């Protein structure tokens, strides 16, 4: 690689940075928070905005795959949905029929 003028990736293998999803999330966070809202007065200010962003991302964003509702609303719908068990006809001997037998 050195002969070709290439430098190896500075990241280590197996950590959270060696993951495409993690890299995407870090890039999104930098674009939406770090670069857009800076310059920063302190590390505490960055930490506070990071917490607010994570809360919004995890709880308040609208998601297309679940009909543009928030994750919290989707979870509430799921938890409030009662499972309806199908009616089962018992065989003459009182046992539940098993179709695989």
pLDDT at 66 over 50: yes
Q: What is the pTM of this model?
A: 0.54
pLDDT tens-digit map of 5-31: 766 555 666 665 567 777 888 899 999
What's the confidence (pLDDT) of residue 100? 46
Q: Residue 18: how many CA atoms within 13 Å on its side-chain side? A: 7
What's the confidence (pLDDT) of residue 59? 86
The position carrying tokens 């409030």 is 80
Q: Give dist(CA 82, CA 79) in Å, integer.
A: 8
Q: Where are the alpha helices (DSSP H) in 5-66?
A: 20-29, 35-37, 43-59
């Amino acid at each position: 690689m050195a002969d070709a003028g290439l430098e190896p990736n500075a990241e280590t293998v197996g950590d959270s940075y060696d993951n495409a999803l993690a890299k995407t999330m870090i890039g999104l966070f930098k674009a939406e928070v770090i670069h857009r809202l800076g310059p920063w007065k302190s590390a505490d200010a960055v930490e506070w905005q990071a917490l607010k962003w994570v809360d919004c991302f995890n709880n308040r964003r609208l998601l297309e795959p679940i009909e543009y509702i928030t994750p919290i609303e989707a979870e509430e719908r799921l938890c409030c949905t009662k499972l309806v068990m199908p009616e089962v006809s018992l065989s003459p001997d009182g046992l539940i029929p098993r179709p695989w037998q």
